[in-house]
Structure 1
Amino acid sequence: MEVEYNTLLEKNTFEQIRQTDSMHPIPLKWVYTYKIEKSGYLIKFKARICVHGDLQPKTDGETYASTLALQVFRLLMALVALFDLETIQADAVKAFCNSPLDEDVYLNNPPGFNKNEFILCLLRGLYGLRKSPKLWFKLFSGTLSDIGLYSIPGQPCIFTEYQGIVIFFFVDDLVVAFPADKRSKALNYLKKLTQKYELRILGKLEWFVGVKITRYQSNKKFFLSQEANIEKICCEYSCDQSGRQVSTPLVSDNLQKYDGNATDKETKLYQQKIGSLINASSDTRPDISSRAISKPFSRVYD
Structure 2
Amino acid sequence: MAIAAKHNLELKQYDVTNAFVHASLDREVYMRMPKGYQKPGTILRIKKALYGLRISPLLWQKDLTATLTQLGFQIVPHEPCCMIKDGIIIFYYVDDIILAYGKDQSKKAQEAMDQLKQRYSITGGDDLQWFLGIEVIRDRSKQLIHLSQVAYYEKINRLVDDQTIRHDTPMATSELMPREGLATPSEINRYQRKIGSLLYAAVNTRPDIAFATSRLARFLANPSQEHQQAADRVLLYLSDTKWLTLRLGGGTAMQVASDASFADNTLDRKSSQGY
The question of a shared fold, defined as TM-score above 0.5 by the shorter chain, is answered with yes
Q: Does the CA-based 8 Å contact 1:262-1:296 persist in structure 2?
A: no
CA distance in 1, matches of 2:93, 2:81: 7
Q: Where does residue 207 of structure 2 map in the other structure?
A: 286
Give the C-alpha shift of residue 222 in structure 1.
Answer: 1.4
CA distance in 1, matches of 2:135, 2:33: 38
> Among residues 203, 209, 214, which one is paired with 2:126 in the alignment?
203
> Among residues 184, 197, 222, which one is paired with 2:145 in the alignment?
222
Change (3 A) 1:239 1:224: farther
Q: Where does residue 65 of structure 1 map in the other structure?
A: none
Change (3 A) 1:171 1:119: same
Give the C-alpha shift of residue 82 in structure 1.
Answer: 0.5
Letter in 2 for 1:286: P
Fraction of identical pairs, as percent: 34
2:30 aligned with 1:106, yes or no? yes
Q: Does the CA-based 8 Å contact 2:33-2:39 persist in structure 1?
A: no
> Among residues 240, 247, 255, which one is paired with 2:174 in the alignment?
255
Give the C-alpha shift of residue 276 in structure 1.
Answer: 2.5
TM-score, normalised relative to structure 1: 0.65
Change (3 A) 1:130 1:197: same
CA distance in 1, matches of 2:202, 2:191: 16
Q: Where does residue 107 of structure 2 map in the other structure?
A: 184
- List alignment gaps of at least 5 residues for structure 2: 234-275
CA distance in 2, matches of 1:207, 1:98: 25
Give the C-alpha shift of residue 126 in structure 1.
Answer: 0.7
Q: Does the CA-based 8 Å contact 1:105-1:121 persist in structure 2?
A: yes
- List alignment gaps of at least 5 residues for structure 1: 1-76
What secondary structure, in the 3-state scheme, does the structure 2 residue paired with 1:222 have? Answer: strand
Cα deviation per residue 1:5-44 (whole Å; 9 max; x = unaligned)?
xxxxxxxxxxxxxxxxxxxxxxxxxxxxxxxxxxxxxxxx
Change (3 A) 1:267 1:152: same
Change (3 A) 1:91 1:159: same
Counterparts of residues 30-69 of structure 1 (less than 5 Å):
none
> Among residues 167, 173, 183, which one is paired with 1:264 in the alignment?
183
Give the C-alpha shift of residue 204 in structure 1.
Answer: 1.0
Letter in 1 for 2:45: C
Q: Does the CA-based 8 Å contact 1:159-1:168 persist in structure 2?
A: yes
> Among residues 67, 70, 88, which one is paired with 2:12 in the alignment?
88
What secondary structure, in the 3-state scheme, does the structure 2 residue paired with 1:136 have? Answer: helix
Q: Where does residue 66 of structure 2 map in the other structure?
A: 142
CA distance in 1, matches of 2:179, 2:123: 55
TM-score, normalised relative to structure 2: 0.71
Cα deviation per residue 1:186-224 (whole Å; 9 max; x = unaligned)?
011000001110001141111112222111111122121
CA RMSD of aligned residues (A): 2.6
Change (3 A) 1:132 1:299: closer
CA distance in 2, matches of 1:148, 1:286: 36
How many pairs align? 220
CA distance in 1, matches of 2:75, 2:3: 17
Give the C-alpha shift of residue 115 in structure 1.
Answer: 1.9
Poorly superposed stretches of 4+, deviation over 6 Å: none
